[in-house]
């Protein structure tokens, strides 16, 4: 069975600090997809990124970057120069190729203080 672990329940940083949110996944499948979603205080879920298991290239999008390492089954998310608007709950999720279920981690609540 697949599982996603986000060990950091809450993180608090001061604006402009860099912060990394950890995501560790478990699956025996070789083909799978990993996701990050953001849930701001308003409650909706916002898609950030999707990565398939055959693409281990790191990705950068503005202040956001993602580090996918199959060797450690991790898909970590880094925010550079954090801003107050980054305050949210962030979810990592895993979806298998032959399965219609998406498994979410418990989420990490990030608070960025001014």
Partner 1 sequence: EAQVTQNPRYLITVTGKKLTVTCSQNMNHEYMSWYRQDPGLGLRQIYYSMNVEVTDKGDVPEGYKVSRKEKRNFPLILESPSPNQTSLYFCASSWGSPMNTEAFFGQGTRLTVV
Does 45 bind partner 1 (CB under 8 A)? Our answer is yes
Residues 17-36 that bind partner 1 (CB under 8 A): 32-33, 35
Q: Are 107 and 90 in contact (CB under 8 A)?
A: yes
User: Which tokens belong to 23?
Assistant: 């995501």
Min dist CB 79 to partner 1, Å, is 19
The encoded tokens of residue 35 equal 């996701």
Residues with Cβ within 8 Å of 97's Cβ and at least 6 positions away in sequence, in order, are: 29, 31, 32, 33
How many chain residues touch partner 1 (CB under 8 A)? 26
Q: Report the site for partner 1 in 76-105 (rule: CB under 8 A).
A: 91, 93, 95-97, 99-102, 104-105
CA dist 68 and 58 (Å) reads 6
Interaction of residue 74 with partner 1, rule CB under 8 A? no
The smaller minimum CB distance to partner 1, of residues 65 and 104, is found at 104
C-alpha angle with apex 3: 54 to 13, nearest 5 degrees?
90
Binding interface with partner 1 (CB under 8 A): 4, 6, 9, 32-33, 35, 37, 42-45, 47, 50, 91, 93, 95-97, 99-102, 104-107
């Amino acid at each position: 069975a697949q599982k996603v672990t986000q060990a950091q329940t809450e993180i608090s940083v001061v604006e402009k600090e860099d912060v990394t949110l950890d995501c560790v996944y478990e699956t025996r499948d070789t083909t799978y997809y990993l996701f990050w979603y953001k849930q701001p205080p308003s409650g909706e879920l916002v898609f950030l990124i999707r990565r398939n298991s055959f693409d281990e290239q790191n990705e950068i999008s503005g202040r956001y970057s993602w580090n996918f390492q199959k060797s450690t089954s991790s898909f970590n998310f880094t925010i550079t120069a954090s801003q107050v608007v980054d305050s949210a709950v962030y979810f990592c999720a895993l979806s298998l190729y032959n399965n219609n279920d998406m498994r979410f981690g418990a989420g990490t609540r990030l608070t960025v203080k001014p």
